Amino acid sequence: MFAHITFPLPVFEPYTYAIPESLADRVVPGARVVVPVRRQELIGLVTATHVEAPPSDRVVKDILGLPDLEPALSPPLLELGEWIARYYGAPLGLVIRAMLPGGMWGRSSVVIRLRDRAGIGGVAGDLLRWLAERGGEGSVGAASRALRRPVWDVVDRLTRVGAVDLEVRAPPSGPAAETERVVQLAGEPLTLIELDRTFARRPRQRQLYEVLEHAGGAAPWRHLRERLGFHDGVIRGLVGARLARVETVERFRDPFAEEPVTPLPGSPTADQADAVRAIGTLEPGSGAVLFGVTGSGKTLVYLECIGRALAEGRGAILLVPEIGLTPQTVSRVRGAFGDTVAVLHSGLSEGERADAWRVLRRGERRVVVGARSAIFAPVARLGLIIVDEEQETSYKNGETPRYHAREVAAVRARLEEARFVLGSATPSLETFARIGPRLLRVDLPRRIASRPLPPVTMVDLRSAPLVRGTGGVPWSELLDEAVRATLDRGDQVLLLLNRRGYAAFLQCRACGEVPECPRCSISLTVHRTPAALRCHYCDHRATIPTACAVCGERIQSVRGVGTQQLERLIGERFPSARIARMDLDTTSAKWSHHRILGAVARGDVDVLLGTQMIAKGIDLPEVTLVGVVDADLALHLPDFRAGERTFQLLTQVAGRAGRGERAGAVVIQTRHPGHHALRWAARHDSLGFLDEERRLRESPPYPPGVALVNLLVSGPEPEDVAARAAALADWVRGLAEHHDLALQVLGPAPCPVARIKSRWRWHVLIKGPAEALGPLVRATAPRLGGDRRARIAMDRDPVTLL
C-alpha cells in the first residue's frame, strides 16, 4: 500500500511512500506522518492513500510513524484544500501551508515525552530509561542515535499503550523576541513652527518624529527600521537630540485580552428579527447576502445567528476584513459569547496559534473571529460562516495560493453542510450577480431607530468658491464652514483623503474629463520617459494631448496630495482642534489603529482624518460631519473596478455620519459630480449603482459577466521581464487556439505599478467564461515559478490589477 505525502513546498507532484502494515489503519488522508527524506526525518501530510505503486526503478521508502492519534486535517478541510489547489492553480503543499498554523510539519521535529514506564522491558524499556535519564523527553532522532537503531516502531507501540506522548515542535527560528526596544517621544510635543525650525535640515528625522507622534507616541525600533525604512542613524539622531528615548518593554501579545467587552445592544428590532429568521431557513450548504444600509445593525444579526448555531450544538466562524481594524466587532462578539470565542489575530505566536487550533478541534471553543485565514479554522461541527464586509479586497490572499476567503467560505459551507452569510452595505457586483436559489438576498433597509441616512452635499471643485493658499489641498469654503460649525457644536469630524494615487492621470481642469483607453475603458496613465499616455491593460499608446479633447481647455495632470498636507491645513485653519491622523504611516505599528480609535471614542479627538481606513466598520456616534476631500483620486486608478471601489468607499465613509442621536451630514468634493459612482453614493443607493455598473461592464466585458486570470511576470531587468511576458502571452494564445477555448488575451502590458521593490512588473490579462478559464489555469500552473530573471505568478479572479 502506498500513500501520497505533501510538504510545504512549491511542487506539483506528490511524493510517494509505502505504508507499513502496522500503520495501515492510521495512515489516512489528512494525517501527519514522519518520513525519511535524504538523511533527515520530515513531517509530511498524507493527501491520498490507496495510490498506485511508483515505477519499479524508483526506491520507495516506508512511512516511519505518526505523531498524532487523529488526522490534523479533517476530510472536508483536506477536500477544501484540494479545491483551492485546483481552482487557483496552486501546489497543494502551499495551500496546506496556508491552512495550517506554521511549524506543524515540514522541518518540525517530534519529541517523545515519558508518561509511565511501569513494567516495560526490551528495546522499549531501553528507550524509556533513556528518556528518564534525559529528564523525561527527547527527540525521536536523538533516541534512534542513542539506541543505534530506528525506534519509530517502538515509539508507536509505546504511544498506543500510553507510556509516552508525542509532540510536534516547530523548527527553531531564532530566539523568540519576548522583549523589544521601543522608541518613545520625549518632552513636550512640538508645535508646527517648532517642527519646521528643529528639523529644517533633517527631513527624515522629522518624518520619524511625525510617525511616532501619530502612532500614539511610541513604536518598536524594529518596526521603524524594517517596515518603515528608518535607518538606525535616523533613530539615534532623534534620541541624541533628546526628542525621543529608547525603552525595552515586553512584547505586546494579545491586545484583546484586557479589552473591555461590549454588552449586547438590546433585543433585535423587527427588521433584524426577520433577517435572522430568513437566514435560519437556509438549506444547509447555501448562503445569504445580508444587505443592510450603514448603521442598520448587521452585527446584532450576526450575533443572533451565531447564537442559534451554538444552540444547535454547532460552531461558527466570523470573518472580518482586518482584525486590527475591527476592535469594536471583536469586542461585541466576545461580549456575547465570552470564553467560547477564539480571536485569531496577527499578534499570536506560532505556538499560540497551534494551541488555538487544538482547542477548536476538540470543540472547547466554538466561535472564531479572525481575518482571511480564519476561514481554515478547524471549528468542530461547523454550522455557520459569516463574511462581514464581503466586498473588501483584503479577503483575497496576496501570495500563492491566491484564494478569496469569500469563495472559500462558500465551498467550505457546502462541504460541511453549514450556512454562510455575506454581509455588506455595498455588496460587490460578483456577489450580487449570484443571488438566486443558492444565495438568498436578505435586506436591512433602515437604520436602527429609523435614524435618517445623512444627506450628502456634492461640491463641484471646478466652480465652487475655494479657500486660497491651501498648499494644493482642494478645500472649498462650504466644507470649511461645515467643519467650523461642527466643531463649534462640540461634535466630531471625519475627513477622508485617499491618496492612493499610484498612477498619474490627466484631468481637464475645466470639464473634469480624464482620457481613457478606447479598448479597455480605464484611465490612461501618464508616462514621462518616453512621454506618452499608456493603457495598463492592453498597452495602447497615445500622445499626451495639449488641450482637452472635450472642451479644448489646456490640460494639467492631477496628483494626489497626501494626508500630511491635509493635516497641516486643518491645523492652520482650526488651531484649537485636536487632530488625529490615520493612514498606513501612523498605524503600521501593531494596534496603533486601535489606540487612535480609542482616543476618538473617548472624545479626545475633534477631527479624525485619514485614508480609507477611517471609512470602515467603525461605529462612532459623536461624528456628525464627514468630509471627502477629493473623491476623484480613487475614481481614476487604472483598474476597471475604480468606479465600484469609489462608490463603496464613499458610501461606507458617508455611513459613518449621524449614527448616534444627533443627525449627520456629508460633504463630498469632486470634479466629477456627474459620475455614476458619486451620484449613487450621494443617495446611499447600492441597488441603483449595482444596476448601472453592471450594464457598463458588458462592453467591454468585465466581471461578473466574464471571469479574469491575471498572469504576472516580474524580475530585476525590464528587458527580461518584457520578453518573458511576450513569450507567455504567445503561449497562452496558442493554448487557447489549440484547445478551442473562448478566451480573450490582453497584453502583455506593464502593470500600472510598473515596479515594486526594484522588480519590474508586466502582466497578461485573460478574459473568458469560467468554464474556459479552468483548463487554462490547470495548463498554466506547472509553468509558474520561473527563475532568477523572471518570475511568473497567476492570479485567478484578481481583485486588483495594479
Which chain residues interact with Zn ion by CB under 5 A? Answer: 517, 519-520, 535, 537-538, 540
Beta-sheet strands, E only, within 331-380 = 341-344, 367-370
Distance of closest approach, residue 328 Cβ to ligand ADP, in angstroms = 7
Binding piece for ligand ADP, criterion CB under 6 A, among 289-297, 475-483, 558-566, 755-763: 289-297
- Residue 454 as a binder of ligand ADP (CB under 6 A): the answer is no
Q: Which of 81, 93, 216, 268 binds ligand ADP (CB under 6 A)?
A: 268
Close Cβ partners of 773 (under 8 Å, ≥ 6 residues apart): 707, 708, 709, 743, 766, 796
Residues 581-620 that bind ligand ADP (CB under 6 A): 619
296 makes contact, choosing from Zn ion, ligand ADP, none, with CB < 5 to 8 Å by partner type, with ligand ADP
Distance of closest approach, residue 425 Cβ to ligand ADP, in angstroms = 6
- Residue 292 as a binder of ligand ADP (CB under 6 A): the answer is yes
Of 330 and 522, the one with the shorter C-beta distance to ligand ADP is: 330
Of 620 and 764, the one with the shorter C-beta distance to Zn ion is: 764
Q: Which of 159, 299, 431, 563 binds ligand ADP (CB under 6 A)?
A: 299
121 makes contact, choosing from ligand ADP, Zn ion, none, with CB < 5 to 8 Å by partner type, with none
Of 248 and 450, the one with the shorter C-beta distance to ligand ADP is: 450
Distance of closest approach, residue 281 Cβ to ligand ADP, in angstroms = 21
H, E, C per residue of 445-473: CCCHHHCCCCCEEEEECCCCCECCCCCCC
Q: Which of 122, 135, 172, 266 binds ligand ADP (CB under 6 A)?
A: 266
H, E, C per residue of 723-755: HHHHHHHHHHHHHHHHCCCCCEEEEEEEEEEEE
Provide φ and ψ at 581, rounded to 5°.
-115, 135
Task: Assign 112 to helix, strand or coil.
Answer: strand
268 makes contact, choosing from Zn ion, ligand ADP, none, with CB < 5 to 8 Å by partner type, with ligand ADP
Q: Which of 300, 309, 625, 707 binds ligand ADP (CB under 6 A)?
A: 300
Cell 461640491, residue located? 459
Distance of closest approach, residue 7 Cβ to ligand ADP, in angstroms = 42
Q: Which of 108, 205, 296, 612 binds ligand ADP (CB under 6 A)?
A: 296
H, E, C per residue of 269-301: CHHHHHHHHHHHCCCCCCEEEEEECCCCCHHHH
Of 98 and 533, the one with the shorter C-beta distance to Zn ion is: 533
587 makes contact, choosing from ligand ADP, Zn ion, none, with CB < 5 to 8 Å by partner type, with none
Is residue 690 a contact partner of residue 425, using CB atoms and an 8 Å limit?
Answer: no
Q: Which of 47, 74, 269, 373 binds ligand ADP (CB under 6 A)?
A: 269
Is residue 140 a contact partner of residue 7, using CB atoms and an 8 Å limit?
Answer: no
Task: Assign 488 to helix, strand or coil.
Answer: helix
Close Cβ partners of 468 (under 8 Å, ≥ 6 residues apart): none
300 makes contact, choosing from Zn ion, ligand ADP, none, with CB < 5 to 8 Å by partner type, with ligand ADP
* Angle (nearest 5°) at CA 620 between 610 and 482: 65
Distance of closest approach, residue 316 Cβ to ligand ADP, in angstroms = 17
- Cell readout for 661 is 442621536
Of 448 and 466, the one with the shorter C-beta distance to ligand ADP is: 448
Distance of closest approach, residue 286 Cβ to ligand ADP, in angstroms = 23
Of 118 and 449, the one with the shorter C-beta distance to ligand ADP is: 449
- Residue 81 as a binder of ligand ADP (CB under 6 A): the answer is no
Cell 472536508, residue located? 76
Task: Characterize the bridge pairing of strands 287-292 and 439-444.
Answer: parallel
Of 285 and 307, the one with the shorter C-beta distance to ligand ADP is: 307
Give just the sign of the alpha carbon dihedral 764, 767, 770, 773. Answer: negative
Close Cβ partners of 4 (under 8 Å, ≥ 6 residues apart): 14, 15, 16, 46, 47, 48, 49, 51
Task: Assign 576 to helix, strand or coil.
Answer: coil
Of 527 and 568, the one with the shorter C-beta distance to Zn ion is: 527
Distance of closest approach, residue 583 Cβ to ligand ADP, in angstroms = 22
Q: Which of 32, 97, 298, 402 binds ligand ADP (CB under 6 A)?
A: 298
How many other CB atoms sit within 10 Å of the CB of residue 207?
Answer: 17
Across-strand partners of 459? Answer: 669
Of 152 and 640, the one with the shorter C-beta distance to Zn ion is: 640
Residues 621-680 that bind ligand ADP (CB under 6 A): 659
Of 166 and 517, the one with the shorter C-beta distance to Zn ion is: 517
Distance of closest approach, residue 299 Cβ to ligand ADP, in angstroms = 3
299 makes contact, choosing from ligand ADP, Zn ion, none, with CB < 5 to 8 Å by partner type, with ligand ADP
Give just the sign of the alpha carbon dihedral 460, 462, 464, 465. Answer: positive
How many other CB atoms sit within 10 Å of the CB of residue 221?
Answer: 17
136: left (phi over 0), alpha (psi -120 to 50) or beta: left
Of 297 and 768, the one with the shorter C-beta distance to ligand ADP is: 297
Close Cβ partners of 288 (under 8 Å, ≥ 6 residues apart): 278, 279, 282, 419, 420, 421, 422, 439, 440, 441, 442
- Residue 372 as a binder of ligand ADP (CB under 6 A): the answer is no
The CA-based dihedral angle spanning residues 728, 731, 732, 738, taken in that order and rounded to the nearest 10 degrees = 180
The residue type at 239? V
- Residue 443 as a binder of ligand ADP (CB under 6 A): the answer is no
Task: Characterize the bridge pairing of strands 665-670 and 623-628.
Answer: parallel
272 makes contact, choosing from ligand ADP, Zn ion, none, with CB < 5 to 8 Å by partner type, with ligand ADP
Of 536 and 684, the one with the shorter C-beta distance to ligand ADP is: 684
CA-based nearest residue to 367, from 436, 311, 425:
311
Of 333 and 668, the one with the shorter C-beta distance to ligand ADP is: 333
| Dist CA 388 CA 367 (whole Å) | 15
CA-based nearest residue to 158, from 108, 110, 106:
110
Of 497 and 535, the one with the shorter C-beta distance to Zn ion is: 535
| Dist CA 109 CA 66 (whole Å) | 12
Cell 473562448, residue located? 742
520 makes contact, choosing from ligand ADP, Zn ion, none, with CB < 5 to 8 Å by partner type, with Zn ion
Greatest distance between any 2 Cα atoms in the chain: 97
Distance of closest approach, residue 586 Cβ to ligand ADP, in angstroms = 24
Distance of closest approach, residue 700 Cβ to Zn ion, in angstroms = 9
Of 170 and 535, the one with the shorter C-beta distance to Zn ion is: 535
Distance of closest approach, residue 428 Cβ to ligand ADP, in angstroms = 17
Q: Site map for ligand ADP, 246-265, x if CB under 6 A?
A: -------------------x
71 makes contact, choosing from Zn ion, ligand ADP, none, with CB < 5 to 8 Å by partner type, with none
Of 95 and 765, the one with the shorter C-beta distance to Zn ion is: 765
Site size for ligand ADP (CB under 6 A): 16
When computed from its CA atoms, the radius of gyration of the chain, rounded to whole angstroms, is 29
540 makes contact, choosing from ligand ADP, Zn ion, none, with CB < 5 to 8 Å by partner type, with Zn ion
The residue type at 33? V
2-6 β-sheet, strand order: 15-18, 2-6, 40-49, 32-37
| Dist CA 95 CA 406 (whole Å) | 16
Distance of closest approach, residue 525 Cβ to Zn ion, in angstroms = 11
153 makes contact, choosing from Zn ion, ligand ADP, none, with CB < 5 to 8 Å by partner type, with none
Q: Which stretches of the chain bind ligand ADP, using CB under 6 A?
A: 265-266, 268-269, 272, 292, 294-300, 448, 619, 659
